[in-house]
Structure 1
Amino acid sequence: MSNLKPLLILNAKVLTMDPDSPRAEAVYAEGGRIVGVGTNGEMQALAGADAQVIDAKGSTLIPGFSENHLHLFSGSAELDHLQLGGVFGFEALKEKALAYAAARPEETVLYAQGADYTIMGAGERLTRQHLDRIIADRPFAIVAYDHHTVWANTKALELAGLMHGRKLGPGNEVVMGEDGLATGELREMEAFGPVFAASGFDRYRLGLSTGGEPDPYPVGAEWEKDILVMRRGLDYCARHGFTSLQCMDGNLYQLQLLAEIEKRDGFLPCRVQIPFHLKNFMPLSMLEKASDMAATYKSEFLSSGVVKMFYDGVLESWTAVMVEPYANKPDSLGGPSLFTAQEMKAAVVEIDRRGLQVAVHAIGDGAVRAVLDGVEAAEKANGKRDSRHRIEHIEVVHPDDISRFGEMGIIASMQPPHPPGAMGLPLEPTVSMIGRERWPYAYAWRTLKNAGAHIPFASDWPVSPIDPLHGIQAAVTRKKWAESDPDQSFSLEEAIAAYTSEGAYAEFKEGCKGMIRKGYFADLTLLDSSIEDQAMDRIAEIRPAVVVCAGRVTYQA
């Protein structure tokens, strides 16, 4: 960083996220670190004639955004797929799909992303017959917005060898029809993995599907192709204002790709944390690989040290694990869970013993409770420490478990674009699945925050749009489902903190990033206007104007 040009940003509305000095109008950085924060005059006095000067013209300057739960490699690869967010109805789907297919005559499998479970209308599930009426002569697969369900046409099912079903592990299902053939609905990764494998797309999802490494290992042109995919994802994130990324799927291969980019360029446009993914078929001895990844990758830009796990599925397919039955399926508690409660305890105890951080996908209140029990078991076995173990999503929490987050210092990683009703999402079928009695404890950001939990926000990209300003708008405009429900919305300052300082805390990096403070990393996002002067329901219209990571401009509009 010694040859990096100093940077001076003037005339800004600086929201530092530093409680000791919350506001300023100028920032000066040298060598990738913040040297000063203060008035225009004070910072101009620090800067030399060689400084790059950016006039903010009254726009908001904040710490660089932290995306606290995303899937970088697969999301990057999916940027070329048909995007179905906001598409509803058979005719609209048909129009989009046919145009996409016509433009890609050589694709082995046609993929679409981001479909809502109600894309065919309330009460009607998408089937292979629907897809066959659109495209019958080529394999075609649609991925649900949450990436926990795929709908495939007959050609895709035949290519993957799934037409007659397949025996799978707990929580995974090839849904079968009364005729003994697959309906086209594939629930969870083991079920739809063969479709991805048929086209080679599974390489980008190994960090989710198996936690393993590509075999054969990509070399030559394939290696360079994946370098380009990863670069495109990093640039996409930087363009949206991010300087830090906490990935929630991972393997050694992703670390190697990112390390190669850092080696070639001398930096990464975003700081990236990649986890080890512990699957339910792995022995706990595999955690030695997680420890090795943490010890090997610990540069300023690239790190590991997190173990990702999945305990359950999602509400929309009744695979999220609940304490009490689903309101619209009273004979079901969901699941089955991907780990037993005892297996979860054993895993968290061992992860904690190694000094690693666990991050567990837990949607239903039964899953959340199982993870909390796992952390409690780790505390009893290993002693209490500042572990900052994480639970991801927490779409429903049981009221008896709310206080446990603050008591055990557990990070509640949540996604403001996810609640039904947020940013145009339909309320049904999810609110009816949850049931009226559980509404006060669904997507309960405010409730958990008030109970002492740290709440970093995220998108879960590519599940939801990655745009943090979209997420901030969702957080500040959150509406109740019923007047008697508690208000779960965040203030503007709280929402910005959830995308900046709270993300740094979740990474144990609150001493060097997440705030605009002297000595901290020069990770900054300058918006194109004043966010405080914008109507709350129009925050998503604001765009990043300049993004700086480690003192280097990584994006400029």
Structure 2
Amino acid sequence: MFKKMTSALLITAMMSPMAAFAQGTVTGAPLAPGASLAPGAPLAPGAPLAPAAVAVLQPADQVFTNGVVYTVDRNRNVEQAVAIRGDQIVYVGSSEGANKYIGKTTKVTDLQGKMVLPGFIDSHTHASKTTGLIFSIDLFDGGSIEEYVATIKAFIKEHPNEPTLQGRGWTNPVAPGIGPRKEVLDEIDAKTPIALTSDDGHSLWVNSASLALAGITKDTANPEGGIIERDPKTGEPSGTLREKAMDLVLKKIGGYTIAQYKSGIEEYQQKAVERGVTTVRDPDMLRYPNVLEAYEELAKENKLTIRFRNAVTANPDKGPEQIADFVKIREREQYPLFQVNAVKIFMDGVVEGATAYLEKPYEHKETNGELIWKVDNYNKTAAAADKAGFQLHVHSIGDASTRIALDGMEYAEKQNGAHDARHSLVHLQLVNPTDIERFKKLGAVGIVQPFWFMQEDGYYDEIEVPYLGQERAEKEYPMKSFINKGVHIASSSDYIVTPEFNPLHGIQQGVTRIADGETDPNKIANPDERATLADMIASFTIDGAYANHVEDITGSLEPGKKADLVILDQNLFTTPANKIKDVQVLLTLVEGKQVYQSQAGEKK
């Protein structure tokens, strides 16, 4: 999906000397152990220290020495060593100071200058949707209708007796406008219902059998918050359903079993720890049957290896009365590694479907998009969720949608009083600058996807500019503006929309905001919004912990916190900006337990 990044020389040329130094493209002198790091400054390991004859305290189980330990604590301290006892960090400091925690049974690892970071946090990732990649048609690698057809036919050949055919991964740029047509799928199989979700999860490509199963005809009205795309000449359903219209088919076809979801979640966990991800939020509870039950069973069976702080999806056809059921779910799902603490709200759609809700109409059609919730119902539901102690986790792409979402949070505050709610808004593709101050005032958190911070081929020129106009397209995906105003910004992948969710890749994109292999400085996406390396690391660690109300146990390397950490083979602050995604995770610990070790890490 993404190409190789441009060279460090290009990135440096586009910055002032100090800015280039801050982005890690220029190497500086080592910091002394115990020094603090100003955001963006380079770090280097201290020299290995000889063991001192010191009295041993209660021994640690594990001690890592002679590393570049970037704590991401309040002062962004840089240390050399970490000591772990049980599931907690008991010491962070110099290698010499760590000697007092080394006993006869302590496992001691000399890091030889490798980097240690807190475990990465992905604050919005559809972990459970890995299930679809295992048990349905995977279209993510295709880039044309012809390639999708070949993939579908190959799947049918291997699975000839499926009662329905489901899949995901086709991309809107291959069929802009009304989307891909039903006739293409009818030629493959006109009798078996076929339903294929787009890569962004906001559109559904179906054949005539699926339309018939759902009773969708020329006379079927668009459901509230949804669009049935139609042939411009005949008015017949063309084969693409947007937003709430998707449910007309999906409810008929059904979903995956609990066992299938468990398999998908377990596979996701393995992908996550290989990338250093130790805490996530999956926002899809209740939107699909059996997902919540799958998590619950895995928790009871002690098969969860990373921390999940998930969200239940509110139904826009219901109101505040549904919050009582969410409270019961939260009370039931109180496991160390699995809890439900947020309510997901789909406020609008996406730009590529012309369903993101905008202040001004789209350039290519006379619409402002789709507001999925009625404003009064959203406000009351938001207030009820807030009163019950839930965080709001609001999908909002358009500037008008974000303003309405903030209005609802302000309404909740007036009803219930100000408190440490940390309601979050996710995606934030377009934001009115005047609303950034409101984030700070309301204590709201922005959750962004830096993987998307670029002028991506197939999207920027073919969809974003034609649909939004050049001026709006150039202002997409603000981040630094939020940080400058003191707003907490947490990063995420929105996997499986982003198939490769390595946080190191996301960190690189947040710093460079340019597509892999691109050498034209004019192709930097909204360059004023480039974040520093320190900003980006914080967004995937301590700010992610803050966004999920777990900063008391994770997100930084400090005594008393859970031992969630990753070891990298290189120091990010001396790595060229366009090479950050190539840095390797050697070891991942969750609460002191080794959940991943690379072969390279074993050899070293």
TM-score greater than 0.5 by the shorter chain: yes
Which amino acid in structure 1 is aligned with residue 337 of structure 2? F
Q: Is the 8 A contact 1:25 1:38 kept in 2?
A: yes
Give the Cα separation in 1 of the matches to 2:583 and 2:134: 22
Identity %: 28
**Secondary structure at the counterpart of residue 559 of structure 2:** coil
Residue 129 of structure 1: aligned partner: 183
User: In 2, are the aligned partners of 1:165 and 1:182 still within 8 Å (CA)?
Assistant: no
Q: 2:272 aligns with which of 231, 237, 246?
A: 237
Distance change >3 Å, CA 47–CA 110, structure 1 → 2: farther
Counterpart in the other structure of 1:280: 316
Q: For residues 380 and 192 of structure 1, do their structure 2 counterparts lie closer, same or farther at Cα, with a shift above 3 Å needed?
A: closer
Please name the residue that 1:227 is paired with.
Answer: 262
Amino acid at match of 1:37: V
Aligned AA for 1:74?
Answer: K
Q: 1:321 Cα deviation (Å)? A: 0.9
2-structure distance, mates of 1:484, 1:270 = 33
Alignment RMSD: 2.8
1:344 matches 2:392: no
The CA distance in 2 between the partners of 1:534 and 1:86, in whole Å, is 30
Once the two structures are superposed, residues 285-304 of structure 1 have per-residue CA deviations (whole angstroms, 9 ceiling, x without a partner) of 21012222333333332222
Q: Name 2:198's counterpart in structure 1.
A: 144
Residue 116 to residue 229, structure 1, CA distance change in 2 (3 Å): closer
Q: Which residue of 2 aligns with 1:537?
A: 578
| Contact 1:142–1:152 (Cα < 8 Å) also in 2 | yes
Q: Residue 226 of structure 2 aligns with which residue?
A: 172
Contact 2:82 2:92 in 1 (8 A): yes
Deviation at 1:553, TM superposition (A): 1.0
Give the direction of change, closer, same or farther, for the CA distance of 1:342–1:21 in structure 2 (3 Å limit). Answer: closer
Alignment of 1:261-410 (within 5 A): 261-265=298-302, 268-329=304-365, 331-335=366-370, 337-410=371-444
The whole-number CA distance in structure 2 between the counterparts of 1:556 and 1:539 is: 19
Q: 3-state DSSP class of the match of 1:429?
A: helix
> Is the contact between residue 420 and residue 430 of structure 1 (CA under 8 Å) also seen in structure 2?
no
Query: Quick one: structure 1 residues 193 and 124, their matched pair in 2 at CA, closer, same or farther if it must change by over 3 Å?
Result: closer
Gaps of 5+ in 1: 204-221
For residues 4-53 of structure 1, the C-alpha deviation after alignment (integer angstroms, 9 at most, x for no partner) is x9233334322211133521222121110011112333324313332344
- 1:535/1:99 CA distance change after superposition, 3 Å: farther
> Residue 492 of structure 1 is aligned with which of 533, 538, 563?
533
Q: 1:473 aligns with which of 489, 499, 508?
A: 508
- Please tell me the residue identity of whatever aligns with 1:36: Y
Residue of structure 2 equivalent to 1:185: 240
After superposition, give the CA deviation of every residue in 1:245-277 in whole Å (9 maximum; x if it has no partner): 112121395444333323322x63111112222
Contact kept, 8 Å, 1:504 with 1:513, in 2: the verdict is: yes
| Aligned counterpart in structure 1 of residue 568 of structure 2, from 527, 546, 551 | 527
Amino acid at match of 2:362: Y
Normalized against structure 1, the TM-score is what? 0.87
Deviates more, 1:376-385 or 1:133-142: 133-142
Supply the AA of the counterpart residue of 1:444: P
Q: Matched residues in 1 for 2:552 and 2:317: separation?
A: 37
AA of the residue aligned to 1:542? V
Distance 1:269 1:418 in 2: 28
Structure 2 CA distance for partners of 1:228 and 1:92, relative to 1, 3 Å: closer
Matches within 5 A, 1:68-217: 68-85=123-140, 87-120=142-175, 125-133=179-187, 139-162=193-216, 164=218, 166-167=220-221, 169-177=223-231, 178-188=233-243, 190-197=244-251, 199-201=253-255, 203=256
Report deviation, 1:194.
Answer: 4.8
How far did residue 421 of structure 1 move?
1.7
Question: Deviation of residue 138 (structure 1)?
Answer: 5.0
- Does 2:84 align with 1:24? no
Alpha carbons 1:422, 1:478 under 8 Å: kept: no
Contact conserved, 2:455 with 2:523, CA < 8 A, in 1?
no
Q: How many Å apart are 1:344 and its aligned residue?
A: 2.0
How many corresponding residue pairs? 530
SS at match of 1:66: strand
Unaligned runs of 5+ in 2: 1-59, 515-520, 599-604
State the match for 2:558 in structure 1: 517
